[in-house]
Structure 1
Amino acid sequence: MTVKIIALLKRRPDITHEQFIERWGENHAKILASLDVTKRNIIRYSQLHVNLQYTETLKQAGRPAADFDGVVEMEVEKLDDFLEIFTDEGYLKVAYPNEDSFLDRTSVQIVAGEPFMKFERDV
Protein backbone atom coordinates (compact mmCIF):
# COMPACT_ATOMS: atom_id res chain seq x y z
CA MET A 1 0.00 0.00 0.00
CA THR A 2 1.21 3.52 -0.73
CA VAL A 3 1.51 6.51 1.58
CA LYS A 4 -0.42 9.67 0.84
CA ILE A 5 1.04 12.98 2.00
CA ILE A 6 -1.11 16.08 2.32
CA ALA A 7 0.57 19.43 3.03
CA LEU A 8 -1.35 22.62 3.78
CA LEU A 9 0.50 25.73 2.60
CA LYS A 10 0.31 29.46 3.30
CA ARG A 11 1.90 32.21 1.32
CA ARG A 12 4.52 34.57 2.60
CA PRO A 13 2.72 37.50 4.26
CA ASP A 14 4.30 40.02 1.86
CA ILE A 15 2.86 38.52 -1.35
CA THR A 16 -0.66 38.17 -2.70
CA HIS A 17 -2.57 34.94 -3.08
CA GLU A 18 -2.27 35.32 -6.85
CA GLN A 19 1.52 35.70 -6.61
CA PHE A 20 1.66 32.60 -4.42
CA ILE A 21 -0.34 30.56 -6.95
CA GLU A 22 1.84 31.74 -9.84
CA ARG A 23 5.15 31.08 -8.09
CA TRP A 24 4.10 27.76 -6.58
CA GLY A 25 1.86 26.52 -9.38
CA GLU A 26 4.09 27.38 -12.30
CA ASN A 27 7.71 27.84 -11.24
CA HIS A 28 8.01 25.51 -8.27
CA ALA A 29 6.06 22.66 -9.83
CA LYS A 30 8.38 22.67 -12.86
CA ILE A 31 11.47 22.75 -10.65
CA LEU A 32 10.22 19.91 -8.47
CA ALA A 33 9.22 17.79 -11.47
CA SER A 34 12.71 18.18 -12.96
CA LEU A 35 14.56 16.74 -9.96
CA ASP A 36 15.86 13.18 -10.06
CA VAL A 37 14.77 12.56 -6.46
CA THR A 38 11.21 13.56 -7.38
CA LYS A 39 11.16 11.33 -10.45
CA ARG A 40 12.48 8.46 -8.35
CA ASN A 41 10.45 8.92 -5.17
CA ILE A 42 7.07 10.47 -5.97
CA ILE A 43 4.37 8.42 -7.63
CA ARG A 44 1.82 11.23 -7.83
CA TYR A 45 1.96 14.97 -7.14
CA SER A 46 -0.94 17.36 -7.40
CA GLN A 47 -1.74 20.86 -6.23
CA LEU A 48 -5.04 22.28 -5.04
CA HIS A 49 -5.09 26.02 -5.61
CA VAL A 50 -7.43 27.45 -2.99
CA ASN A 51 -10.17 29.66 -4.41
CA LEU A 52 -10.56 32.54 -1.95
CA GLN A 53 -14.11 33.21 -3.11
CA TYR A 54 -15.05 29.60 -2.27
CA THR A 55 -13.41 29.99 1.14
CA GLU A 56 -15.45 33.13 1.84
CA THR A 57 -18.67 31.45 0.66
CA LEU A 58 -18.01 28.50 2.98
CA LYS A 59 -17.43 30.86 5.91
CA GLN A 60 -20.63 32.81 5.14
CA ALA A 61 -22.52 29.50 5.07
CA GLY A 62 -21.24 28.76 8.58
CA ARG A 63 -18.82 26.06 7.45
CA PRO A 64 -15.31 25.90 8.89
CA ALA A 65 -12.89 26.89 6.13
CA ALA A 66 -9.14 26.56 6.59
CA ASP A 67 -7.06 29.68 5.96
CA PHE A 68 -4.50 28.19 3.58
CA ASP A 69 -3.51 29.17 0.06
CA GLY A 70 -2.80 25.73 -1.33
CA VAL A 71 -2.71 22.02 -0.68
CA VAL A 72 -0.13 19.57 -1.98
CA GLU A 73 -1.10 15.96 -2.40
CA MET A 74 1.66 13.41 -2.96
CA GLU A 75 1.75 9.66 -3.12
CA VAL A 76 4.90 7.67 -2.35
CA GLU A 77 5.77 4.00 -1.82
CA LYS A 78 6.96 4.61 1.74
CA LEU A 79 7.37 7.59 4.07
CA ASP A 80 11.16 7.42 3.78
CA ASP A 81 10.81 8.22 0.05
CA PHE A 82 9.10 11.48 0.99
CA LEU A 83 11.62 12.34 3.70
CA GLU A 84 14.56 11.66 1.36
CA ILE A 85 13.46 14.55 -0.86
CA PHE A 86 14.33 17.09 1.83
CA THR A 87 17.91 15.87 2.19
CA ASP A 88 18.57 15.53 -1.55
CA GLU A 89 21.34 17.78 -2.91
CA GLY A 90 19.29 18.84 -5.94
CA TYR A 91 16.30 19.77 -3.80
CA LEU A 92 18.48 21.72 -1.37
CA LYS A 93 20.25 23.63 -4.17
CA VAL A 94 17.26 24.42 -6.40
CA ALA A 95 13.79 23.72 -4.98
CA TYR A 96 14.34 24.74 -1.35
CA PRO A 97 15.66 28.23 -2.23
CA ASN A 98 12.79 28.69 -4.70
CA GLU A 99 10.30 28.09 -1.87
CA ASP A 100 11.57 31.29 -0.26
CA SER A 101 9.83 33.24 -3.04
CA PHE A 102 6.33 32.14 -2.01
CA LEU A 103 6.11 29.89 1.06
CA ASP A 104 5.65 30.66 4.76
CA ARG A 105 7.45 27.56 6.03
CA THR A 106 6.40 28.18 9.65
CA SER A 107 2.75 27.56 8.78
CA VAL A 108 3.09 24.31 6.79
CA GLN A 109 1.00 21.45 8.16
CA ILE A 110 1.64 17.89 6.93
CA VAL A 111 -0.55 14.80 7.26
CA ALA A 112 0.57 11.32 6.17
CA GLY A 113 -1.43 8.14 5.99
CA GLU A 114 -2.64 5.23 3.93
CA PRO A 115 -5.46 5.98 1.48
CA PHE A 116 -8.67 3.95 1.52
CA MET A 117 -11.13 4.74 -1.29
CA LYS A 118 -14.64 4.54 0.18
CA PHE A 119 -16.73 6.06 -2.59
CA GLU A 120 -16.29 7.03 -6.21
CA ARG A 121 -19.06 8.23 -8.47
CA ASP A 122 -19.34 6.65 -11.90
CA VAL A 123 -18.69 9.21 -14.58
Structure 2
Amino acid sequence: MPIRITILIKKLDTVSTEDFHSYWSTKHPSIFLSVPTAQKLLLRYSQYHISRPLTTALRKGAHMPCLEPEFDGAAEFLVESLEDFGAIFADPIYESVVVPDEESFLKRGESMVFVGEEEMKWVDGKAAEGVVLK
Protein backbone atom coordinates (compact mmCIF):
# COMPACT_ATOMS: atom_id res chain seq x y z
CA MET A 1 0.00 0.00 0.00
CA PRO A 2 1.44 3.42 -0.93
CA ILE A 3 2.45 5.84 1.81
CA ARG A 4 1.12 9.37 1.97
CA ILE A 5 3.28 12.15 3.39
CA THR A 6 1.78 15.55 4.11
CA ILE A 7 4.04 18.47 4.97
CA LEU A 8 2.32 21.52 6.45
CA ILE A 9 4.19 24.69 5.55
CA LYS A 10 4.31 28.34 6.59
CA LYS A 11 5.26 31.20 4.32
CA LEU A 12 8.06 33.56 5.25
CA ASP A 13 6.85 36.67 7.09
CA THR A 14 8.50 38.78 4.38
CA VAL A 15 6.38 37.19 1.62
CA SER A 16 2.78 38.30 1.08
CA THR A 17 0.05 35.69 1.10
CA GLU A 18 -0.70 36.36 -2.57
CA ASP A 19 2.95 36.13 -3.60
CA PHE A 20 3.41 32.93 -1.58
CA HIS A 21 0.47 31.13 -3.19
CA SER A 22 1.35 32.38 -6.66
CA TYR A 23 5.02 31.37 -6.44
CA TRP A 24 4.37 28.03 -4.77
CA SER A 25 1.68 27.18 -7.33
CA THR A 26 3.41 28.29 -10.53
CA LYS A 27 7.20 28.38 -10.04
CA HIS A 28 8.15 25.91 -7.30
CA PRO A 29 6.66 22.72 -8.84
CA SER A 30 8.94 22.86 -11.88
CA ILE A 31 11.95 23.42 -9.60
CA PHE A 32 11.00 20.56 -7.28
CA LEU A 33 10.15 18.25 -10.18
CA SER A 34 13.52 18.96 -11.82
CA VAL A 35 14.92 16.43 -9.33
CA PRO A 36 15.29 13.17 -11.32
CA THR A 37 14.66 11.05 -8.22
CA ALA A 38 11.34 12.84 -7.66
CA GLN A 39 10.29 12.17 -11.26
CA LYS A 40 11.20 8.51 -10.86
CA LEU A 41 9.81 7.74 -7.39
CA LEU A 42 6.80 10.01 -6.80
CA LEU A 43 3.41 8.44 -7.46
CA ARG A 44 1.62 11.73 -6.76
CA TYR A 45 2.51 15.26 -5.71
CA SER A 46 -0.12 17.88 -4.96
CA GLN A 47 -0.48 21.16 -3.13
CA TYR A 48 -3.22 22.22 -0.78
CA HIS A 49 -3.51 26.01 -0.55
CA ILE A 50 -5.10 27.04 2.75
CA SER A 51 -7.55 29.94 2.42
CA ARG A 52 -8.20 32.11 5.44
CA PRO A 53 -11.23 33.81 3.80
CA LEU A 54 -12.83 30.42 3.08
CA THR A 55 -12.10 29.29 6.64
CA THR A 56 -13.79 32.43 7.98
CA ALA A 57 -16.78 31.91 5.67
CA LEU A 58 -17.13 28.31 6.84
CA ARG A 59 -16.91 29.36 10.46
CA LYS A 60 -19.60 32.02 10.00
CA GLY A 61 -21.89 30.38 7.45
CA ALA A 62 -21.84 26.78 8.62
CA HIS A 63 -21.17 27.63 12.26
CA MET A 64 -18.25 25.22 12.24
CA PRO A 65 -15.73 25.44 15.09
CA CYS A 66 -12.72 26.33 12.91
CA LEU A 67 -9.47 27.56 14.37
CA GLU A 68 -7.47 30.22 12.56
CA PRO A 69 -5.06 28.30 10.30
CA GLU A 70 -1.51 28.14 11.62
CA PHE A 71 -0.14 26.99 8.25
CA ASP A 72 -0.41 28.41 4.74
CA GLY A 73 -0.42 25.17 2.79
CA ALA A 74 0.30 21.48 2.63
CA ALA A 75 2.47 19.59 0.17
CA GLU A 76 1.16 16.06 -0.30
CA PHE A 77 3.20 13.18 -1.64
CA LEU A 78 2.34 9.56 -2.43
CA VAL A 79 5.25 7.09 -2.61
CA GLU A 80 5.72 3.34 -2.46
CA SER A 81 7.99 3.46 0.60
CA LEU A 82 9.65 5.73 3.12
CA GLU A 83 12.95 4.80 1.46
CA ASP A 84 11.68 6.26 -1.83
CA PHE A 85 10.65 9.46 -0.10
CA GLY A 86 13.99 9.70 1.68
CA ALA A 87 15.84 9.18 -1.60
CA ILE A 88 14.12 12.19 -3.13
CA PHE A 89 15.17 14.50 -0.31
CA ALA A 90 18.70 13.04 -0.21
CA ASP A 91 19.20 13.69 -3.93
CA PRO A 92 22.09 16.17 -4.40
CA ILE A 93 19.95 18.16 -6.86
CA TYR A 94 17.27 18.54 -4.20
CA GLU A 95 19.89 19.83 -1.77
CA SER A 96 21.53 22.22 -4.22
CA VAL A 97 18.49 23.50 -6.16
CA VAL A 98 15.25 22.92 -4.25
CA VAL A 99 16.37 23.76 -0.71
CA PRO A 100 17.58 27.28 -1.66
CA ASP A 101 14.33 27.82 -3.55
CA GLU A 102 12.23 26.73 -0.55
CA GLU A 103 14.22 28.99 1.76
CA SER A 104 13.24 31.95 -0.44
CA PHE A 105 9.52 31.65 0.33
CA LEU A 106 8.79 29.24 3.21
CA LYS A 107 9.89 28.50 6.77
CA ARG A 108 11.48 25.07 6.32
CA GLY A 109 12.27 24.70 10.03
CA GLU A 110 8.63 25.17 11.03
CA SER A 111 7.14 22.51 8.76
CA MET A 112 5.06 19.74 10.27
CA VAL A 113 5.11 16.26 8.71
CA PHE A 114 2.42 13.58 8.81
CA VAL A 115 3.05 10.08 7.47
CA GLY A 116 0.42 7.40 7.02
CA GLU A 117 -1.60 5.18 4.73
CA GLU A 118 -4.54 6.70 2.89
CA GLU A 119 -7.88 4.89 3.06
CA MET A 120 -10.44 5.99 0.50
CA LYS A 121 -14.02 5.90 1.84
CA TRP A 122 -15.99 7.85 -0.78
CA VAL A 123 -14.88 8.10 -4.41
CA ASP A 124 -16.65 9.53 -7.47
CA GLY A 125 -19.97 9.91 -5.70
CA LYS A 126 -20.13 6.43 -4.20
CA ALA A 127 -18.84 4.36 -1.31
CA ALA A 128 -15.39 2.92 -1.82
CA GLU A 129 -14.82 -0.80 -1.88
CA GLY A 130 -15.32 -2.29 1.57
CA VAL A 131 -17.53 0.56 2.85
CA VAL A 132 -21.04 -0.56 3.74
CA LEU A 133 -23.71 2.14 3.89
CA LYS A 134 -26.51 1.77 6.42
Using the size of structure 1 for normalisation, the TM-score is: 0.90
Matched AA of 2:121: K
User: Residue 27 of structure 1 corresponds to which residue in structure 2?
Assistant: 27
Matched, 1:12 2:12: yes
Alpha-carbon separation, structure 2, partners of 1:23 and 1:92: 19
Equivalent residue in structure 1 for 2:69, among 62, 66, 85 = 66
Alpha-carbon separation, structure 1, partners of 2:98 and 2:28: 7
In structure 1, the gaps of 5 or more residues are: none
Structure with bigger gyration radius: 2
Equivalent residue in structure 1 for 2:91, among 88, 91, 99 = 88
User: Residue 40 of structure 1 corresponds to which residue in structure 2?
Assistant: 40
Matched, 1:102 2:76: no
In structure 2, the gaps of 5 or more residues are: 127-134
Q: Give % identity.
A: 33
Shift of 1:63: 2.1
Alpha-carbon separation, structure 1, partners of 2:37 and 2:80: 13
Using the size of structure 2 for normalisation, the TM-score is: 0.83
Alpha-carbon separation, structure 2, partners of 1:56 and 1:106: 27
Cα deviation, 1:43-99, whole Å, max 9, x if unaligned, reads 100011112211222444332343211111110000111112221111111111100
Alpha-carbon separation, structure 2, partners of 1:19 and 1:45: 21
How many pairs align?
123
Q: Which runs of 4+ in 1 moved over 6 A?
A: none
